[in-house]
């Protein structure tokens, strides 16, 4: 049974010229649990993962697996399985042939191909060409690719994207099962709703900086407390709240006040002689808490520049083992023409 090791991000910063993608980021992902790595698009998640996997050099700080950088791992594909962004597959190859090529490149026994196809529920489609696969099927194939080395650590970028409800239910249970085996599972997403039913802890970043690390329960506790109050005379109630200097918005069930104590609001209304029909503490939804944390800080106006600069930086990172990527094999990056023989089985992709 593979054993997971901690993922440790310590004081990590990455600058692309004058653009800051990640700034002094530190967090730890422990084995035996599913950790969600969350933030808006452009928050720095993919840059962090690329640094972790040796695809981009950090400006400062470290990103390690059990204290070792990716390039220092003795058997990297048996330690870390990773899928970043959308995987590239040759449309003329079958799922089985694609995995066979990856296995041969990594020195993994071919028998493992059938095992991972079965693990991700792709056995019935193993001999179909990838060009006809849906996004969800491609996601499963990408996950199968990460599992070829039976790694103790999984790093998955947006793995739920493109899955139908049945597929989402399946992958949630699958990730929990992998974590239950003692593996380290890190799953990135820009939507809390995608992962909240499968993660044990969350790491949330905004504009390249850490804004929250902890459990979902802690995330809910950290949210801004609010009170819902209503009256037959909302105008008078609103005036009383404004006179007290309280911030509020109007909702379907009344006025939603940024305040921690319903008793204070009730006393305020009593003193003002305002009749109340509703008074309660609002339990903030997790998604609201997430949005409150990232707010408008989530995406930098310079993110497009960071994306372009990252591509240049990654292209220049040729001395790092793994620049072909643990998530993308050479065949995916440089596919042979459809009319050429497939090295996996000697047959052409007709």
Check pLDDT > 70 for residue 278. yes
What CATH number has the domain bearing residue 37? 3.40.50.300
Q: Do residues 30 and 76 both lie within one domain?
A: yes
Structurally, the chain folds into a number of domains equal to 2
Region 255-271: what's the mean pLDDT? 92
Report pLDDT for 344: 38
In a domain, 101, yes or no: yes
Mean pLDDT within 226-239 = 94
pLDDT reading at 301 higher than 50: no
Measured over the CA atoms of residue 324, residue 329, residue 332 and residue 337, the dihedral's sign is: positive
Kindly state whether residues 100 and 41 are assigned to the same domain: yes
Tell whether 111 and 176 lie within a shared domain.
Answer: yes
Q: What are the pLDDT digits (tens) for 197-209?
A: 889 999 999 999 9
The answer to whether 325 and 84 have CB atoms below 8 angstroms apart is: yes
Among residues 42, 38, 85, the alpha carbon closest in space to that of 291 is found at 38
Return the top range by mean pLDDT from 165-179, 277-291, 334-348.
165-179
Task: Kindly state whether residues 53 and 197 are assigned to the same domain.
Answer: yes
Residue 347 within a domain:
no
**Domain region containing 233:** 225-283
Does 182 fall in a domain? Answer: yes
Radius of gyration of the chain (CA): 24
CA angle 204, 23, 87 (to 5 degrees): 60
Residues 272, 274, 277, 279, Cα dihedral to 10°: -10
Residue 154 pairs with which residues in a beta bridge? 81, 185
pLDDT for 196 equals: 81
* CATH code: domain of residue 243: 3.30.70.100
- This prediction has a pTM of 0.72
Is the pLDDT reported for residue 323 higher than 70?
A: no
pLDDT tens column, 138-185: 989 999 999 999 999 999 998 887 788 888 888 899 999 999 999 999
In terms of domains, do 192 and 238 share one?
A: no
- pLDDT value at residue 149: 95
Is residue 171 located within the same domain as residue 38? Answer: yes
Same domain, 328 and 196: yes
What is the structure's pLDDT at 216?
81
Q: How far apart are CA 25 and CA 59, in angstroms?
A: 12
The answer on 194 and 47 residing in a single domain is yes
Instruction: Evaluate whether residue 1 is within a structural domain.
Output: no
Residue 313 pLDDT > 50: yes
Instruction: Output the pLDDT for position 231.
Output: 96
Residues 204 and 315 in one domain: yes
Is-contact 72 53, C-beta < 8 A?
no
Share of the chain above pLDDT 90, in %: 59
Same domain, 193 and 251: no
Domain boundary among 246, 262, 283: 283
Is 2 part of any domain?
A: no
In a shared domain, residues 34 and 162: yes
């Amino acid at each position: 049974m593979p054993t997971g090791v901690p993922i440790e991000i310590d004081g990590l910063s990455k600058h692309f010229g004058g653009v800051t993608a990640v700034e002094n980021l530190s967090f730890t992902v422990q084995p035996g649990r599913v950790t969600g790595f969350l933030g808006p698009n452009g928050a720095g998640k993919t840059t962090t993962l690329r640094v972790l996997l040796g695809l981009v050099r950090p400006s400062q700080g470290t990103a390690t697996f059990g204290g070792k950088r990716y390039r220092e791992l003795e058997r990297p594909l048996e330690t870390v399985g990773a899928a970043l962004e959308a995987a590239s597959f040759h449309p003329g190859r079958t799922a089985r042939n694609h995995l066979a090529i990856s296995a041969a490149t990594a020195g993994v026994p071919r028998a493992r191909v059938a095992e991972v196809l079965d693990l991700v529920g792709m056995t019935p489609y193993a001999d179909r060409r990838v060009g006809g696969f849906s996004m969800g099927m491609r996601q499963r194939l990408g996950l199968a690719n990460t599992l070829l080395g039976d790694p103790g650590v999984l790093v998955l970028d947006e793995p739920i994207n493109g899955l139908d409800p049945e597929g989402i239910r399946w992958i949630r249970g699958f990730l929990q099962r992998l974590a239950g085996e003692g593996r380290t599972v890190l799953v990135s997403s820009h939507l809390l709703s995608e992962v909240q039913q499968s993660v044990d802890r969350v790491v949330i970043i905004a504009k390249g900086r850490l804004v929250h690390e902890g459990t979902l329960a802690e995330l809910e506790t950290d949210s801004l407390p609010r009170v819902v109050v209503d009256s037959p005379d909302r105008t008078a109630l609103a005036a009383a709240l404004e006179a007290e200097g309280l911030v509020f918005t109007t909702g379907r069930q009344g006025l939603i006040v940024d305040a921690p104590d319903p008793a204070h609001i009730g006393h305020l209304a009593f003193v003002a002689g305002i009749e109340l029909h509703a008074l309660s503490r609002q339990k903030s939804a997790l998604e609201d808490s997430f949005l409150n944390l990232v707010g408008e800080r989530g995406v930098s106006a310079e993110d497009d520049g960071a994306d372009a600069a990252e591509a240049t930086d990654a292209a220049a990172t040729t001395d790092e083992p793994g620049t072909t990527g643990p998530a993308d094999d050479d065949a995916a990056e440089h596919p042979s023409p459809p009319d050429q023989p497939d090295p996996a089985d000697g047959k052409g992709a007709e």
